[in-house]
Chains A and B, each alone.
Chain A
């Protein structure tokens, strides 16, 4: 073995300029036709809700006694009118605002709170972990729908209280996923390596744990969107969510119940939207999951 060190040459592989991880994920997601279809449907519904004041032909709260329960396709009322003679298209567009908000905001809040607590619990371990995880187990002991009903019932009806109730219900599952992901990441060599370069606990948590845990936790949270949409509509349906005359899909489903025999198509419309949004979120979460398995 020669002792002189020659410039050690490695084959100068053309270093591919790689785009960031998330743009790679997006590219893969957009290559999946199902995900694209879901994105288009969701985008249309979200746009309809956001731009409701400009798109809607009428006022969501003003009805007409003489034009009650007109069928789908009535001139001037493309999707008919509800039991108080209010334009269905208008109410469905406006209803999307409340329904989508009640479905997505709790997931986002739960992702924030549950994700942070789960990371802390998983990273700290020991007593901190025990306290946080046992408290979570208490919430977990209740079926989620029942818990949401109980909290919303105790707080009273209203959009704000529904958001709160759903957030509380969604925190435990997200927290658990974040905790177990963190526990796995914490034991990996690069955490010890980061510590060996002088990184303190907070830096390790913020830089190395967060970026390795956020992927699976985020995917899991998107899969909860579909559940949250249905739960939010469900709470409104049983009178614990949005209050009349607020247009909201779950609530509309309830008030149109009596018209189920006379105007079945009309009565099913809010349900169709709830179903479509929930399904799209679900399929999108699946697409995202496979798109994120780049590594």
Chain B
């Protein structure tokens, strides 16, 4: 039954794109810890259309990876409290039964991990691992699963794919391992790809190859994707829309061009200023002073205000809401006050 659902989406989506593939509302994630509850994600909402790529951007500890894992329900259930709703492909992920959850994981939504040398099992060959995952979802014979694994490896353009089926992860280069990881994720033709900093562990030269490959496959298959990254260059390259996260909240969101070209939130502006661009030779790189707030003891009001150069007295009063502002949405009291709301051009 799973097989038909997956095949159906791959073909049908181009004709009648369902408005939203994924919809997250007021997602909040709290971890129990000896220091008290850690508020990792605090009321995150976003929508993702079919075929769209969303970039989640932020520092370490901003809640982007946790958001991704919540979408997969990979967070340890005993120590985590998750509120809000996550709808993917019309199904409420939070209330899926064990069996449906295992069908959803890998089948509807697939994940690409940061470090392929850790995310691939060292004692199995690439072919065995992909075939194992395929057999998890489709009732096919071993040889059929192997044939599909080969197809997946060819899809990600691994050279001499047939031989690579029988290679162990440690026999492959980092870039090739990440290609294998992508093949593993895409072998079941998911509707949503979750990529957790998929190029961070790779060489700079390989990074762009893997990114372009991902972008190409995503467009070919009409898959939606959520990219977690702290690299604005990566985000600019691959994302349709961007959501900047800080202290478990989305502080600015909009189309990639809008957000990167005219950032409104002081945090996004600071991030941009601290990034190295090729065109910035000779310029001084502005570091971002301070460190992210303790998620166990979030301050009242705007969480960024301690590091913000434009903070005012009012910033401590209330958590700024994410409001439409000059073409995209910003959660900042100062930005909202200084630049009056303009209607979003239709």
Closest Cβ neighbor of B128 among chain A residues: A207
Asked whether any CB of chain B lies closer than 8 Å to the CB of A76, the reply is no
Partner-binding segment picked from A189-197, A239-247, A267-275, A277-285: A189-197
Most chain-A Cβ atoms within 10 A of its Cβ — which of B105, B121, B212, B237?
A: B121
Residues A8 and B119 in contact, CB atoms below 8 Å apart: no
Mark B152-189 against chain A: 1 for CB-CB distance below 8 A, else 0.
Answer: 00000111100110111011010110000100110010
Residues B159 and A9 in contact, CB atoms below 8 Å apart: yes
Q: Would you list which residues of chain B between 10 and 34 have a CB under 8 Å from chain A? A: none
Residues A15 and B160 in contact, CB atoms below 8 Å apart: yes
Chain A residues with Cβ under 8 A from B107's Cβ? 198
Asked whether any CB of chain A lies closer than 8 Å to the CB of B301, the reply is no
Residues B237 and A15 in contact, CB atoms below 8 Å apart: no
Given contacts A8-B209, A190-B120, A212-B123, A18 and B111 within 8 Å (CB-CB): no
Asked whether any CB of chain A lies closer than 8 Å to the CB of B92, the reply is no
Contact of B119 among A10, A190, A207 (CB under 8 A): A190
Asked whether any CB of chain A lies closer than 8 Å to the CB of B287, the reply is no
Residues A197 and B121 in contact, CB atoms below 8 Å apart: no
Chain B residues with Cβ under 8 A from A68's Cβ? none
Task: Give the complex CA separation of A10 and B172 in angstroms.
Answer: 12
Given contacts A5-B212, A5-B215, A196 and B136 within 8 Å (CB-CB): no
Contact of A211 among B120, B124, B159, B167 (CB under 8 A): B124
Q: Would you list which residues of chain A between 213 and 242 have a CB under 8 Å from chain B? A: none
Task: Give the complex CA separation of A200 and B105 in angstroms.
Answer: 10
Task: Give the complex CA separation of A205 and B279 in angstroms.
Answer: 51
Mark B210-243 against chain A: 1 for CB-CB distance below 8 A, else 0.
Answer: 0011011000000000000000000001000000
Asked whether any CB of chain A lies closer than 8 Å to the CB of B276, the reply is no
Chain B residues with Cβ under 8 A from A8's Cβ? 157, 209, 212-213
Residues A5 and B213 in contact, CB atoms below 8 Å apart: yes
Task: Give the complex CA separation of A193 and B104 in angstroms.
Answer: 14
Mark B103-114 against chain A: 1 for CB-CB distance below 8 A, else 0.
Answer: 111110011010
Given contacts A12-B160, A15-B167, A295-B170, A198 and B105 within 8 Å (CB-CB): yes
Residues B74 and A17 in contact, CB atoms below 8 Å apart: no
Contact of A7 among B123, B136, B157 (CB under 8 A): B157
Contact of B118 among A5, A126, A189, A194 (CB under 8 A): A189
Residues A197 and B106 in contact, CB atoms below 8 Å apart: yes
Asked whether any CB of chain B lies closer than 8 Å to the CB of A73, the reply is no
Q: Would you list which residues of chain B between 120 and 169 have a CB under 8 Å from chain A? A: 120-124, 132-133, 136-137, 157-160, 163-164, 166-168
Asked whether any CB of chain A lies closer than 8 Å to the CB of B208, the reply is yes
A3 to chain B, nearest CB (A): 9
Asked whether any CB of chain A lies closer than 8 Å to the CB of B102, the reply is yes
Asked whether any CB of chain A lies closer than 8 Å to the CB of B284, the reply is no
Mark A16-36 against chain B: 1 for CB-CB distance below 8 A, else 0.
Answer: 111001000000000000000
Chain B residues with Cβ under 8 A from A203's Cβ? 136
Closest Cβ neighbor of A212 among chain B residues: B123
Category for how many chain B residues contact A: 35 or more
Asked whether any CB of chain B lies closer than 8 Å to the CB of A188, the reply is yes
Chain B residues with Cβ under 8 A from A21's Cβ? 123, 168
Task: Give the complex CA separation of A79 and B106 in angstroms.
Answer: 68
Residues B120 and A193 in contact, CB atoms below 8 Å apart: yes
Residues B166 and A10 in contact, CB atoms below 8 Å apart: no
Residues A12 and B159 in contact, CB atoms below 8 Å apart: yes
Residues B118 and A190 in contact, CB atoms below 8 Å apart: yes
Most chain-B Cβ atoms within 10 A of its Cβ — which of A12, A18, A198, A203?
A: A198
Asked whether any CB of chain A lies closer than 8 Å to the CB of B98, the reply is yes
Most chain-B Cβ atoms within 10 A of its Cβ — which of A10, A16, A192?
A: A10
Asked whether any CB of chain A lies closer than 8 Å to the CB of B321, the reply is no
Given contacts A10-B159, A13-B159, A193-B113, A198 and B106 within 8 Å (CB-CB): yes
Residues A15 and B164 in contact, CB atoms below 8 Å apart: yes
Residues A197 and B74 in contact, CB atoms below 8 Å apart: no
Chain B residues with Cβ under 8 A from A18's Cβ? 166-168, 171
Closest Cβ neighbor of A203 among chain B residues: B136
Closest Cβ neighbor of A192 among chain B residues: B74
Given contacts A16-B171, A188-B118, A198 and B163 within 8 Å (CB-CB): no
Chain A residues with Cβ under 8 A from B164's Cβ? 15
B203 to chain A, nearest CB (A): 12
Asked whether any CB of chain B lies closer than 8 Å to the CB of A75, the reply is no
Chain B residues with Cβ under 8 A from A1's Cβ? 208, 237
A202 to chain B, nearest CB (A): 11
Residues A197 and B136 in contact, CB atoms below 8 Å apart: yes
Query: Could you write out 18 A-B pairs with CB less than 8 Å apart?
Result: A8-B157, A8-B209, A10-B158, A10-B176, A13-B159, A15-B171, A16-B167, A17-B163, A17-B166, A126-B78, A193-B111, A193-B113, A198-B103, A198-B107, A199-B132, A207-B132, A211-B124, A295-B122
- A sample of 15 more A-B contacts (CB under 8 A), given A10-B157, A193-B113, is A5-B212, A11-B159, A13-B159, A15-B167, A18-B171, A189-B118, A190-B119, A193-B119, A196-B72, A196-B113, A197-B106, A197-B188, A199-B102, A211-B121, A295-B170
Which residues from chain A sit less than 8 Å from chain B, CB to CB? 1, 5, 7-18, 21, 126, 188-190, 192-200, 203, 207-208, 211-212, 295
Report the 7 A-B pairs with minimum CB-CB distance, sorted nearest first: A15-B163, A198-B106, A189-B118, A197-B106, A197-B133, A196-B111, A193-B119
